[in-house]
């Protein structure tokens, strides 16, 4: 199946970031240039396992007479490996990168939640938590794909070390939640504080369904992420893509805070009120801090 959704290049391969970095006279974004050893180690971990994203399929195929039971088994395995949420849907063109071919019928999403308590420890702790979570997702997807191939079905892991699939359309279709104003998918338990790993496969599975619980309507009136965005990068207006409201972040305004500084910026996710149910005290304390600085990020953040 051929993909139709453009993927923005990362790092200096992104023409928007490259133009902004070169305009400052630098050759690398300050955020990427100032990576700490722990973060480097996490990044190295998903690069190291990238060659195992795909591999040889066992020629002796396990017969699947009950796809529902197999789906339950796969979800249990992903949970055992450390996933906090697991969902399955049929692969669609909008879930695949523009120009890429993915020859599989299903996609399994396995997400790991970030420890929201880290937000109170500042941007370094938040970044470390985010990268740790990405590394865990890469390990889970790699192991899950290997186990499916061992059952005799093609399977490919998609994670930070290599991916041809798009997180948001898959998250929505497997029922993790709805797209929020800040551009991330919102789950009623984890807010937007979770990271993804995926496995595409032909293993017979049973699809989950999208779940809507009012996020898009809520985001029409809640401006908390907008008010807290230091770059004013989150727009007032939305567009519609395949029937879903999308608020497209202005990267020219986002990057000065998220790429041109050394510090990690995760504020739009951290202030999202959907996290309050699972972390009421931390969220309230964090928002009290935010209010004291006028919701804008001080230069020392």
Which residues lie near another protein (CB under 8 A)? Answer: 2, 4-6, 15-16, 19, 93, 98-99, 223, 226-227, 232, 234-237, 239-243, 246, 248, 250-252
| Cα–Cα nearest to 106, from 202, 18, 22, 10 | 202
DSSP 3-state of 216: helix
Q: Which of 80/101 has CB closer to another protein? A: 101
Closest approach, Cβ 81 to another protein, in A, equals: 33
d(CA 126, CA 263): 10
What letter would DSSP give residue 62?
P
Of the two residues 96 and 119, which places its CB atom closer to another protein in the complex? Answer: 96
- Least Å distance, CB 123 to another protein, is 23
Please state the closest distance from residue 253 (CB atom) to another protein, in A. 8
CA dist., res. 261 & res. 71, Å (int): 43
Q: Name the minimum Å distance from CB 18 to another protein.
A: 11
Closer residue to another protein in complex, CB, 2/36: 2
Output the smallest distance, CB 219 to another protein, in A. 13
Which of 117, 232 has the CB closer to another protein? 232
Closest CA to 234 of 215, 213, 220: 220
Q: Which two tokens stand for residue 37?
A: 């050893």
Nearest to 204 by CA among 40, 61, 26, 2: 61
Q: Report, in angstroms and rounded to the nearest whole number, the Rg of the chain calculated over CA atoms.
A: 19
Torsion region of 241: left, alpha or beta (phi above 0 gives left; psi -120 to 50 gives alpha)? beta
Nearest distance, CB of residue 165 and another protein, angstroms: 16
CA 39 to chain centre: 17
Name which of 140 and 165 has its Cβ closer to another protein.
165
What phi, psi does 198 have (nearest 5°)? -135, 155
DSSP-based three-state secondary structure for 249: coil
Least distance (Å) from another protein to the CB of residue 223? 6
Closest CA to 214 of 177, 170, 267: 177
Closer residue to another protein (CB): 63 or 240 = 240
* 5/297 with CB nearer another protein: 5
Nearest residue to 75 via CA among 105, 107, 110: 110
């Amino acid at each position: 199946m051929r993909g139709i959704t453009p993927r923005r290049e990362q790092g200096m391969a992104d023409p928007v970031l490259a133009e902004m970095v070169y305009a400052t006279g630098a050759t690398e974004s300050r955020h990427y240039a100032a990576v700490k050893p722990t973060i480097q180690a996490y990044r190295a971990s998903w690069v190291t396992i990238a060659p195992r994203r795909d591999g040889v399929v066992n020629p002796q195929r396990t017969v699947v007479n009950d796809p529902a039971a197999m789906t339950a088994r796969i979800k249990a395995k992903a949970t055992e490996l450390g996933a906090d949420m697991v969902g399955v849907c049929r692969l669609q063109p909008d879930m695949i990168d523009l120009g890429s071919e993915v020859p599989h019928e299903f996609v399994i999403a396995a997400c790991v939640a970030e420890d929201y308590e880290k937000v109170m420890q500042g941007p370094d702790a938040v970044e470390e938590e985010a990268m740790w979570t990405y590394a865990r997702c890469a390990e889970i997807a790699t192991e899950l794909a290997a186990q499916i191939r061992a059952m005799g079905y093609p399977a490919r892991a998609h994670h930070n070390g290599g991916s041809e699939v798009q997180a948001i359309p898959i998250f929505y279709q497997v029922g993790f939640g709805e797209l929020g104003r800040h551009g991330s998918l919102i789950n009623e338990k984890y807010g937007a504080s979770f990271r993804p790993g995926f496995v595409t496969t032909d293993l017979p599975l049973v699809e989950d369904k999208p779940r809507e619980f009012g996020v898009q309507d809520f985001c029409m009136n809640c401006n908390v992420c907008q008010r807290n965005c230091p770059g004013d990068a989150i727009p007032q207006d939305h567009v519609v893509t395949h029937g879903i409201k999308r608020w497209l972040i202005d990267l020219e305004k986002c990057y000065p805070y998220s790429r041109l500084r050394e510090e990690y910026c995760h504020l739009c996710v951290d202030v999202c009120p959907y996290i309050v149910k699972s972390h009421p005290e931390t969220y309230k304390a964090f928002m009290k801090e935010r209010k004291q600085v006028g919701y804008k990020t001080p230069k020392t953040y």
